[in-house]
Structure 1
């Protein structure tokens, strides 16, 4: 995709013109209606009879060798609604797009929101071009948006062009990072082992100028990451510990140091506490937290954000054989603390414990955030609309909540009161990995992780089980959404601007 920017609409042969349209009281808002009527040379009442501008509504109108596409954004237009509309257009109506496509906002002078909404449009167009069928013997035609000759011209008032260029380039970079890691999450388990995640991380780091250090099983053992090793006991595939570091430009004499940790379970059978067979095939998605961290590192490096990032991804699958860890086993961890295994399906928190301890003790970030597809409890609480947020730092929680509202990747904070920690106390070890109670599952998982943060003053845990993998426009079943990258990039931009 090539982006072009212009202040005057220039008609070209064989061109598609996308006109995003907002809705007011169930029909096209007055301002865009007048502009559309003028552009198309049609009476307003004729347009109103055919198009209501509902969210994701699409209507195409040929005019000579050009094609006008009206795209409904619905009422109360924001970044998220705009992104979803363009994602839908690119995914379900790509046949309407041509190599020369123009984005024409029906805007008036003084409107200053359209640069940001253009970022959402670019992001949505690229995301919508994602194709799930890479393992089919015949993949069919590729989406025109990903063609080398696809050119998107964005028409905005002259005084908005400079900002729009920055917004839209950011939208494209984030979208490209999202679709890359979506392919990782959607990959079947036999095509996705810990060393595959490590290889992806190393290739990205080499390409975009940050550092990747990969530890194999011997190095993990030598370092004392016993919790990661315990989850790996039942697997024929060795674990990997991926450490990434990006140092951005130093601006204004400050460079915040942020730590990220992502759960990298490439497939989760549940171990000896085996999961039901129904929907177990979706457990290829259990490295959604790792994917979010990988995509964020790549996007941050490409955007040259003025921040110092350190990230850890402990990776293994959770399989079953005679050597697999058993309920009642007591294991150690990188922190030196002992853990009683109550449920082997509570494995993600074990590898995160080692990742958190390592990043905090060895790299001392000012802020530490972990992301994981951790509990069904968070899905039962929020469905697929928001991630569960836990934090011991009100300011950090506020920044993440604000980033969620701005990007549409919403989070909602839940408590981590001291009383919940009582459920995690063990008679035989320092802590147990599962409360054993059918209540407050996401919260007690967060309390387990908090135990391994060494009382770090600014920690947040994001349980993204319901948001990283769900219904998408790409296929009939559930698939990766790319959740977390836009959220974290927005958060990083906010903390670097303070």
Structure 2
């Protein structure tokens, strides 16, 4: 799909005219402008209701839903009448239109047809400010394409995304988009002393990796390190999960996916910020060699960890990833993302991710980015009073407190130990937002949560 900005609507193709509730023309009985309401004013003119004073993230969802529901019926050329709308409004609309063409049929031998509009079609946008709107639309187009790639990655089953396959995805992206990728394989991890990552991997026949991405723009003043949890499948290990929804654990690399997508998109948009992505990746499965509850393991930071629950494995591999990022890159800002705890879903449901940080400025900037993009966050405490929950009798720290309360907070306190007291660190628990109930699937599917959030945050640093 290509986007062209024009001064007036192209009446020779289908024209979509969006109207807010209370601002629509014509017969009130026939069209009220309610959110998602459609009215065919003529065979070549579709009116779309936006509801009352919609926020920008709502614009993305409205267009995403509209284009997805009719994804097999769109003509090859469409005009969006966006006269009087801001460049940012147009960007959100275009992003929604691109996402509306997402096709979940990854491995079907006879997939249902998808309109050619999404691949080779043209979206004409009638708008007032040509150059500014064109740039916003182009950025939205790139963003949507990256999000769709990340959705594919999230929705792929674990036999199609082993840790080494995840690394290969990163290398191909780096080659295509001009950033460097280093893959630390098992021998190298052993030499470095990545004991926590290696311990989680002990039950798997597929070796672990640490994927290190580095995007360096021509000019920059800040370095941001992003660390993403890359558990490509999580059985829970010896502390095994119930079988009912275990198939969804193919999504336990949502943090890694967000980091991969953010670095790829940042390189395409040429953001003036140096970005380092660190992704520890492994399966967490079961065999006779698997890590056991009660084991004491080491870590790259040199601290010993008592393993109370092998299903609290994400924080173990993040411990090595966080310390590696701090030690080797000395970033100005350190952010980790992980589908880490069921506790955060119990707390916030599927509408927001948990934000943990002792840096008020960083927390506020991330919260604002969440509101701008609709990838919302809610801040929770990381007070030192919670430290005793991870105190161990026989090791420096334990990985789980075993109590039915404050699970997400205790996990954050565990991670904090491995940040070397970095002054600008934030942890995002995205367990409820990375894989959710959306229109793309009758069940749950990947959302690409984190990509727009982080790009919005990073864009304000340049």
TM-score by length of 2: 0.98
What displacement does 1:255 show?
2.0
Q: Deviations over 1:345-395 (max 9, x none)?
A: 000000000000000011100000000000001011111100000012100
1:485 paired residue among 444, 447, 451: 451
Deviates more, 1:87-96 or 1:312-321: 87-96
Alpha-carbon distance in 2 for matches of 1:249, 1:75: 44
- Alignment check: 8 A CA contact 1:126 1:145 kept: no
1:338 paired residue among 295, 298, 304: 304
SS state of the match for residue 221, structure 2? coil
- Matching of residues 85-234 of structure 1 within 5 Å: 85-105=62-82, 107=84, 113-148=85-120, 150-157=121-128, 160-234=129-203
2:328 paired residue among 362, 367, 374: 362
Residue of structure 1 in register with 2:38 after alignment: 58
Alpha-carbon distance in 2 for matches of 1:52, 1:328: 63
SS state of the match for residue 212, structure 1? strand
- Matching of residues 2-41 of structure 1 within 5 Å: 2-12=2-12, 15-23=13-21, 29-30=22-23, 33-34=24-25
Alpha-carbon distance in 2 for matches of 1:18, 1:61: 10
Q: Tell me, yes or no, if structure 1 residue 404 matches structure 2 residue 370.
A: yes
Alpha-carbon distance in 2 for matches of 1:106, 1:220: 56
What displacement does 1:144 show?
3.1
Q: Deviations over 1:450-472 (max 9, x none)?
A: 00000000000000000100111
Residue of structure 2 in register with 1:26 after alignment: none
- Alignment check: 8 A CA contact 2:77 2:117 kept: no
- Alignment check: 8 A CA contact 1:198 1:240 kept: yes
Q: Deviations over 1:456-493 (max 9, x none)?
A: 00000000000100111111010001110000000001
The unaligned stretches of length 5 or more in structure 2 are: none
Q: Tell me, yes or no, if structure 1 residue 321 matches structure 2 residue 287.
A: yes
How many residue pairs match? The answer is 462
SS state of the match for residue 313, structure 1? strand
Alpha-carbon distance in 1 for matches of 2:115, 2:222: 39
What displacement does 1:199 show?
0.5
Q: Deviations over 1:233-269 (max 9, x none)?
A: 001111111000001131xxx5210000000000000
SS state of the match for residue 94, structure 1? coil
What displacement does 1:436 show?
1.1
Report the CA distance shift for 1:85/1:99 in structure 2 as closer, same or farther (over 3 A): same
- Alignment check: 8 A CA contact 2:225 2:277 kept: yes
Q: Tell me, yes or no, if structure 1 residue 265 matches structure 2 residue 234.
A: no
Tell me which stretches of 4 or more aligned residues in structure 1 moved more than 6 Å: none
Alpha-carbon distance in 1 for matches of 2:429, 2:115: 33
- Alignment check: 8 A CA contact 1:128 1:473 kept: no
- Alignment check: 8 A CA contact 1:55 1:81 kept: no
The unaligned stretches of length 5 or more in structure 1 are: 24-28, 35-43, 108-112
RMSD across aligned positions (CA): 1.2
- Alignment check: 8 A CA contact 1:90 1:145 kept: no
What displacement does 1:106 show?
5.6
- Alignment check: 8 A CA contact 1:378 1:387 kept: yes
Residue of structure 2 in register with 1:39 after alignment: none
Residue of structure 2 in register with 1:83 after alignment: 60
Alpha-carbon distance in 2 for matches of 1:134, 1:177: 16
SS state of the match for residue 77, structure 1? coil
Residue of structure 2 in register with 1:466 after alignment: 432
SS state of the match for residue 301, structure 1? helix
Q: Tell me, yes or no, if structure 1 residue 69 matches structure 2 residue 46.
A: yes
2:269 paired residue among 274, 296, 303: 303
